[in-house]
């Protein structure tokens, strides 16, 4: 079998067929047998070993959820049997360090921080209770049918056929051995919390595949096709690594490089130095696609969860030009934005949709059509970084994560869903504020999106309220914004809404537009400071737009209104 098949694994259930493949002698015939717990043969397939690398592939008939089964591959007198196999839903979890943060690092948020430095709350709502790491780990034994697997971080300049290394083979979750293994090692908190929540909601076995590496840009996870489509193939710093690149062959060689530090930084996570400045994953285009994603393309998947986007903003002092804007009276209303930024974040509105589309085509083809062509793809919108920063880099990236359309799914990003995380800031995280420890709310919001988009729960509210239209009352100096859902005000913040008050779109003078009235679905903004044409409106456009679970607007389900431009 290929490297990532093993005892305790979950294979994709029907309506898709699970792909099974492995290595053998060229020209030989491999017999694959699926047997039930009693030893009764359920299915038998044959495949011939082909190709220069000597691989065989077969597709199992679609199977109902459940198990356990034994899966045997036999060639001549040799055979290998995998045991305790279940059929369920398989989810791939990928990205950088916020995806690599483990269950051991989960902590509840300090209530002392909530609301500090902001105006008084306008309504108190019950918040989702956040457990700490010890509670999460103690509950691991309740989920024996949520199986976990973690690929080791690896890079390659060419597309690999199989994984070179595995950090965690398919396993039944246990507190100490895998879920609580360490910091930024395994197993991913976001992936685990999403998976066990899916199991609770669906009652089906869940297989979770973690493929993450901290400090890595989207270009490294992209194939050459993506880079070419976005005009980045010749312009993406080919072969250039960060200043700590030599560490991968020295001090950090024995560590899982999801989080690696310069020699001057203590490995103790209590160091006063900002840890995020020392994340040093590979920056070279396509090297993670080649080594960590391409080997998995034969896997039949049910969905993908993605948490990536932070590294471009970790270099201080990078100047960013202002965005361009459209007039409020424009039919599209919300405008678009582009800016030059480190590591092509100005192109994230191209690279991210292109990566999603490319991964979908590749997994569909690699699985002989068993993975859906519109593979459900969920992602986490960026959280927070520096509380008092005037830089809007994070705000722009959040916007670009939606292909400049504000919400998903949309025409450019079909069958996607998003967990808004800008209200989950964690200034005192020992891993740096770039790494908030509340992963339960992140996973809960991903779960809602997965149930609605991937599993077709049409009645489920899975995203916060978003503006549907805006009407400008020039004579009264008011702007009436109508939202798509009922609004709940959690915090009054005179800076939350801002209008572009200029005679031209760029440079733009952004002025506060305080809320003067609220209806069940409407917000009325005062434009007293705007004496010229209103060219744009934005909401929560800041690196740290609000305190913990205290942004101004939510829906009754507790989901925050996403930022918009």
Q: Could you report the per-residue pLDDT of 270-279, keeping only the tens digit for each?
A: 333 333 332 4
- Is 116 within the bounds of a domain? no
Q: Please, are residues 21 and 32 in contact by the beta-carbon 8 Å criterion? A: no
Is the confidence at residue 213, as pLDDT, over 60?
Answer: yes
- Is 536 within the bounds of a domain? yes
Is the confidence at residue 259, as pLDDT, over 70?
Answer: no
pLDDT computed for residue 528 by the predictor = 78
Q: Which of 57, 88, 119 is the last residue of a domain?
A: 88
Quickly tell me which residue has 């994560």 as its tokens: 401
pLDDT computed for residue 250 by the predictor = 25
Domain that holds residue 508: 467-554
Q: Please, are residues 479 and 469 in contact by the beta-carbon 8 Å criterion? A: no
- Work out the pLDDT band at 122, boundaries 50, 70, 90: low
Provide the percentage of residues in the chain whose pLDDT is more than 90: 64
Tens digit of each residue's pLDDT (9 = 90 or more) over 287-328: 999 999 999 999 999 999 999 987 544 433 333 322 222 223
Q: How many independent structural domains does the chain possess?
A: 2
pTM (2 d.p.)? 0.85
On the CB side of 326, CA atoms within 13 Å amount to 13
Q: Is the peptide bond before 345 cis (omega within 30 degrees of 0)?
A: no
- Is 14 within the bounds of a domain? yes
- Is 51 within the bounds of a domain? yes
Is the confidence at residue 56, as pLDDT, over 60?
Answer: yes
Contacts with 78 (C-beta within 8 Å, 6 or more apart), sequence order: none
Q: Is the peptide bond before 24 cis (omega within 30 degrees of 0)?
A: no
Q: Please, are residues 295 and 160 in contact by the beta-carbon 8 Å criterion? A: yes
pLDDT computed for residue 226 by the predictor = 97
- Work out the pLDDT band at 234, boundaries 50, 70, 90: low
In this prediction, residues 411-422 reach a mean pLDDT of: 98
**Alpha-carbon gap, residue 188 to 279, rounded angstroms:** 17
Q: Which of 53, 88, 123 is the last residue of a domain?
A: 88
Q: Is the peptide bond before 187 cis (omega within 30 degrees of 0)?
A: yes
- Is 251 within the bounds of a domain? no
- Is 224 within the bounds of a domain? no
**Alpha-carbon gap, residue 315 to 143, rounded angstroms:** 41
pLDDT computed for residue 420 by the predictor = 98
Is the confidence at residue 437, as pLDDT, over 80?
Answer: yes
- Is 564 within the bounds of a domain? no
Question: Of 219, 228, 233, 235, whose CA–CA distance to 287 is shortest?
Answer: 219
Tens digit of each residue's pLDDT (9 = 90 or more) over 3-34: 999 999 999 999 999 999 999 999 999 999 99
- Work out the pLDDT band at 508, boundaries 50, 70, 90: confident
Q: Rounded mean pLDDT of the chain?
A: 83
CATH number for position 82? 2.60.40.10
In this prediction, residues 126-142 reach a mean pLDDT of: 73
Q: Which of 88, 120, 136 is the last residue of a domain?
A: 88
More confident site: 326 or 389? 389
pLDDT computed for residue 11 by the predictor = 99
Q: Please, are residues 309 and 218 in contact by the beta-carbon 8 Å criterion? A: yes
pLDDT computed for residue 164 by the predictor = 94
Tens digit of each residue's pLDDT (9 = 90 or more) over 456-474: 999 999 999 999 999 999 8
pLDDT computed for residue 182 by the predictor = 67
- Is 258 within the bounds of a domain? no
């Amino acid at each position: 079998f290929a490297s990532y098949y093993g005892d305790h694994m979950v294979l994709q259930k029907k309506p898709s067929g699970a792909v099974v493949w492995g290595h053998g002698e060229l020209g030989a015939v491999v017999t694959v047998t699926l047997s039930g717990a009693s030893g009764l043969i359920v299915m038998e397939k044959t495949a011939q070993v082909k190709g220069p690398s000597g691989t065989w592939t077969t597709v199992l008939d679609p199977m109902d959820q459940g198990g356990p089964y034994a899966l045997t591959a036999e060639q001549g007198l040799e055979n290998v049997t995998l045991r305790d196999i279940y059929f369920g839903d398989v989810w791939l979890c990928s990205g950088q360090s916020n995806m690599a943060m483990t269950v051991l690092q989960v902590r509840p948020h300090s209530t002392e921080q909530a609301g500090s430095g902001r105006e008084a709350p306008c309504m108190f709502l019950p918040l989702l209770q956040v457990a700490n790491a010890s509670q999460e780990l103690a509950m691991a034994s309740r989920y024996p049918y949520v199986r976990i697997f973690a690929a080791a971080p690896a890079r390659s300049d060419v597309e690999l056929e199989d994984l070179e290394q595995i950090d965690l083979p398919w396993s039944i979750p246990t507190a100490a051995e895998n879920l609580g293994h360490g910091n930024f090692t395994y197993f991913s908190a976001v992936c685990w919390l999403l998976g066990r929540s899916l199991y609770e909601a669906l009652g089906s076995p869940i297989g979770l595949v973690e493929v993450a590496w901290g400090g890595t840009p989207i270009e490294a996870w992209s194939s050459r096709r993506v880079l070419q489509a976005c005009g980045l193939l010749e312009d993406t710093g080919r072969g250039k690594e960060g200043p700590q690149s030599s560490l991968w062959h020295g001090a950090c060689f024995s560590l899982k490089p999801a989080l690696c530090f310069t020699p001057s930084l203590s490995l103790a996570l209590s160091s006063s130095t900002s840890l995020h400045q020392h994340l040093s994953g590979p920056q070279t285009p396509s090297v993670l696609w080649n080594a960590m994603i391409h080997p998995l393309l034969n896997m039949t998947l049910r969905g993908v969860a993605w948490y990536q986007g932070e590294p471009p903003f970790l270099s201080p002092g990078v100047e960013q030009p202002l965005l361009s804007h459209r007039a409020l009276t424009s039919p599209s209303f919300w405008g678009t934005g582009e800016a030059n930024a480190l590591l092509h974040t100005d192109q994230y509105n191209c690279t991210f949709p292109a990566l999603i589309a490319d991964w979908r085509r590749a997994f569909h083809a690699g699985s002989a059509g068993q993975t859906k062509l519109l593979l459900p793809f969920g992602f986490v919108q960026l959280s927070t970084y520096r509380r008092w920063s005037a830089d809007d880099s994070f705000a722009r990236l959040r916007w670009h994560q939606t292909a400049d359309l504000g919400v998903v799914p949309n025409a450019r990003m079909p069958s996607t869903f998003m967990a808004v995380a800008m209200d989950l800031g964690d200034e005192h995280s020992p891993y740096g504020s770039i790494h908030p420890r509340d992963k339960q709310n992140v996973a809960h919001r991903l779960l809602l999106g997965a149930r609605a988009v991937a599993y077709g729960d049409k009645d489920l509210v899975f995203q916060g309220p978003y503006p549907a239209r805006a009407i400008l009352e020039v004579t009264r100096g008011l702007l009436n914004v109508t939202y798509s859902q009922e609004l709940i005000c959690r915090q009054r913040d005179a800076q939350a809404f801002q209008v572009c008050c200029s005679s031209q779109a760029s440079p733009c003078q952004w002025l506060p537009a305080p809320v003067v009235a609220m209806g069940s679905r409407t917000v009325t903004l005062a434009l007293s400071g705007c004496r010229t044409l209103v060219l744009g409106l934005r909401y929560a456009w800041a690196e740290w737009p609000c305190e913990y679970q205290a942004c101004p607007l939510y829906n009754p389900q507790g989901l925050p209104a996403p930022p918009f431009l």
